[in-house]
Chain A
Amino acid sequence: MTEQLARPRSLVGARVRRREDRRLLTGAGTFVDDLSLPGMLHAAVLRSPLPHARIAGADASRAEAPLVLTPADVARSTREVRCIWVLPGQRQTTYPVVADVARYVGEPLGLVVAETRAAAEDAAELVELDLDPLPALADPDQALAEGAPLLHADWGTNVVVEMEIGDPADAVEDVIAGAAHVVERRLRIQRVTHCPIEPRGAVAHWEAATGTLTLWSSTQSPHHLREMLAEVLTLPAESIRVIARDVGGGFGQKEHLYPEEVLVSLATMRLGAPVKWIEDRSESLLSAVQGRDHLHDARLALDADGRFLALHSRIVSNVGARPSNVGAGPALVSSGMLPGPYAFEAVGTTFRAVLTNRPPTGAYRGFGMQQAAWVRERLVDEAARELGVDPVELRLRNMLRPEQLPYLTRTSQQYDSGDYPRALERTAELMRAAPPRPDDGRRRGVGFASYVEFTGLGPTAANQAVGFHLSGYDTAVVRVETDGTLTIATGTSAQGQGHETTFAQLAADRLGVPLERVRVLAGDTATTPFGSAGAIASRSMTVAGGAIVRASERLRDKVLRVAANLLEASAADLVLADGEVRVRGAEWRSVPLADVASRAWLGWDLADGDSPGLEERDVHDPAGISYSYATHAAAVAVDPETGEVEVERYAVVHDCGTAVNPTVVEGQIEGGVAQGLGIALLEESAFDADGMPLCATLMDYLLPTSDTVPDIEVAHQESPSPFVPGGMKGVGEGGTIGAPAAIGNAVAAALPEIAEHITETPLSPARIWALLRETR
């Protein structure tokens, strides 16, 4: 392993500029709200104003609008939506597009369509929803209390699913009982929301003449939407086309079919005209899927030498009003990834996923792993403090060494490759290089967090084993066109990650084509191969990228076979580079790739057994999971008078296998860290004791801004994935996973007198100030 593989003359590893930037910088991108179709009408969504209410009826007689879809209309016209991740014993596995009971404020109940959005909103105000209020469950404490109202009376409980992961509880208890030292804390990760700057949105257009439904959506998963929309509307899948063009961020929030997308589809099928719905920010904050909201009662047991023996957590996951498409998946991943980069004799969790009258929680960048890192890394720092050991030293003492990999954790994760201690040591070196800060009365501390990250969401067998109904593979079609230009088509599309550049780098590198002669097709179910997972789970480069690599390499071999006939040479003696094929050692004998391509598409000069054309399709189902890892470090200054935390420095040493474009990789990490900083210090989707939301605007929901996020230092290590052609591992989520724990540990280091109470995010000024006051 080297820290950065040198690849002279290779496009892989090159910091090339992004190819999508020109259109985005000039205002020429096409986001869904930029779409305007002749005769297009506009929709406003009817939403529940109450956290819990039976829908007795709806009177739309006063609303003068071309179409009103009431709850009953929708129920008659749709089938229930399937949960995609279904765990054993899960009590609810489908949910209606519009239910007969509203279970959170902002839940979609119907649709009003009019000539303009403003007119639709006016008309929506005249639709009278007859709602019978029911007692609301504001949080899991209420939902789990003896005699609590039940969201589903027939269940006898508000727990939708519960599981035990890893070592059995009694085995973990035995190890803990024999430990010299046990650190126990109740740790909480608040509810947050993704806040892509482009909210959700969709335009649906039903063409009756051809029986075709086209849905343009701000989605991360076009193929998944198509499959689910066909089921819910009872339409043939072949009649539906889903298109995602430029998408303004997703972070997990846009990775599944939403009721609103079904509603606009129903509306266009009723009206014949195209129908647009663009979410406003309040709708986004109230009704889109949210993230986190986990409570961990966790213990770390150590022997007298500071060796980790056991780790156990009892988890309560507030999944909200109903299981989202991924339901309790984040709690399962929290459990599976709890051990992190350390060796233990025993690790186990139990989790309960609990329904409350809040919006559903689902996929959000880091997917359970951020919670796991917060819990484990805070316990590690607390152990270090209690034992009087340096936190870096305690980590190194317990960290898996490179020669121990591959390694099977107590929670059945098969770690593949890497050098975890080196990343920690390098991060510590970076932090030691900090210049001394002026003494301004603030308290300063440095904190570390190390983690291992499950990336890629494949192989398919792993998905099947855990009840995840998503393709764990991806398909790439790579084609050398008749003129020697290149087209790549994949089922996974981007929301800012730069696939048009990085996917092109993979293929251009193998086919000797300049980057500007490569086009990446994505985000359109009509032109790209099926892939129901989409751009989630740090999987695009790992799974789709591997398919592009393999298809490109097979295509290169075919180019050489055709060229061998044209040049009357052996394919083994040929080199493909700079848009031509040359004979090695006799470079004046060459043929342009364009000539090879035009002849291959004519079917001329083919090798025996080759078919005409220059196109390869590869289905990549990784043989194993690729685990990225990193250590993060934060240096903070805390104002003891106000409790305000400033992150003064931030460093990451990470490994995502082959970094196809290190600049893009760094961008992913930096953006992820900023979201993690938001969780650590600022963000909370808050509700009052009656279940009413308190954050309906960006005045109430505090996002990181340029003055709160420092420059982030990123250093790379490269341990290629043994399972992925090209060696890439995922990098989309890692920044968010480590940041809250690193910042929390830094705050605890700055304020040792309250360190044991640094258990809950966000570490807002109010929380820190109150803790400081209590200890005075």
Chain B
Amino acid sequence: MKVRLRLNGVDREGDAEPRTLLSDFVRHELGATGTHVGCEHGVCGACTVLLDGEAVRSCLMLAAQAAGAEVTTVESLSREGALHPLQEAFAEQHALQCGFCTPGILMAVVGEHRAGRSLDEVVADVLPGHLCRCTGYGRIRAAVRAAWPELEARA
């Protein structure tokens, strides 16, 4: 079947089986491979994208469920070569090593910020829902804290 959705502001259409996951559809059918798949059962958080602005785990959704929706992935964050403040903070704080979990964390923080969550809530409740095996998390927390004022200023 055909699934139509808006990916990072562009109308897209692709083939999907009823069982095709949103994560696989975005990655393999639409070619946006910045969203990563680490567990396919909703634990690791690497596949987090925004669905109509809300952070969701794209491995826990079917592509068909996203039909007609606006899907926002990590590829949308930087503009004209300039990194998003959160990306900038991750680079400055060395908050990534292999970078596999990073896109999901970035999208979760961006989404939860847009949803009105406070910095403390994001650090206490959102970050623990994302697995990173490289950094030990301290620098991720530091990057989110460092970027937060700029996220607030942009909002």
Contact = CB atoms under 8 A, between A and B. Distances in A.
Contacts of A495: 98
Q: Most chain-B CB neighbours within 10 Å: which of A17, A194, A248, A675? A: A248
Contact of A707 (B32, B46, B124): B124
Contacts of B127: 705-707
A21 B140 CA distance: 14
A195 B133 contact: yes
Interface stretch (B50-58, B86-94, B110-118): B86-94
A710 B136 CA distance: 8
Interface in B26-80: 27-28, 31-41, 43-44, 46, 73-75, 77-78
Contact of B28 (A18, A36, A706): A36
Given A671-B133, A707-B128, A197 B100 contact: yes
Given A281-B40, A706-B141, A712-B138, A197 B33 contact: no
Interface string A463-489: 000000000000000000000000000
Given A34-B33, A281-B41, A674-B137, A24 B96 contact: yes
B138 A196 contact: no
Interface string A193-232: 0111111000000000000000000000000000000000
A18 B94 contact: yes
Most chain A Cβ neighbours within 10 Å, of B40, B133, B137: B133
Contacts, number: 179
A709 B94 contact: no
Contact of B137 (A17, A705, A735): A705
Contacts of A704: 136-137
B91 A698 contact: no
Given A31-B100, A663-B94, A706-B127, A699 B41 contact: yes
Contacts of A73: none
A80 to B, nearest CB: 32
A281 B124 contact: no
Nearest to B28: A36
Given A31-B100, A198-B36, A495-B98, A712 B136 contact: yes
Contacts of B91: 17-18, 21-22, 25
A197 B38 contact: yes
B98 A247 contact: yes
A194 B134 CA distance: 11
A671 B135 contact: yes
Interface string A247-288: 111010000000000000000000000000000110000000
A20 interface: yes
Contacts of A667: 94, 97, 134-136, 139
A234 interface: no
Given A667-B97, A707-B128, A697 B133 contact: no
A664 interface: yes
Contact of B139 (A670, A697, A705, A735): A670
B92 A20 contact: no
The range of chain B's interface size is 35 or more
A249 B73 contact: no
Nearest to B19: A118
A86 interface: no
Interface in B119-133: 123-124, 127-133
A120 to B, nearest CB: 13
A393 interface: no
Given A496-B99, A667-B135, A712-B136, A698 B43 contact: yes
A194, A196, A708, A735 — most chain B CB neighbours (10 Å) = A196
A194 B133 CA distance: 9
A121 to B, nearest CB: 11
B5 interface: no
Contact of B136 (A29, A196, A280, A671): A671
Contacts of A674: 133, 135-137
Given A196-B133, A698-B131, A711 B138 contact: yes
Contacts of B39: 281, 697-698
A332 interface: no
A21 B93 CA distance: 11
A644 B74 CA distance: 37
A33 interface: yes
Given A26-B77, A706-B130, A249 B98 contact: yes
Contact of B38 (A198, A247, A697): A198
A498 interface: yes
A196 to B, nearest CB: 6
B97 A497 contact: yes
Interface string A1-34: 0000000000000000110111011111111011
Given A26-B87, A496-B97, A674-B137, 9 more contacts: A17-B94, A27-B75, A31-B36, A31-B100, A36-B28, A118-B20, A248-B36, A667-B135, A670-B138
22 contacts: A21-B90, A22-B83, A24-B98, A25-B91, A27-B73, A27-B103, A28-B34, A30-B33, A34-B27, A197-B36, A249-B133, A496-B96, A496-B98, A498-B97, A667-B94, A667-B136, A671-B134, A674-B135, A674-B136, A704-B136, A709-B138, A735-B136
**Which 7 residue pairs are nearest across A and B when measured between Cβ atoms?**
A27-B34, A24-B99, A496-B98, A248-B100, A496-B97, A674-B136, A670-B136
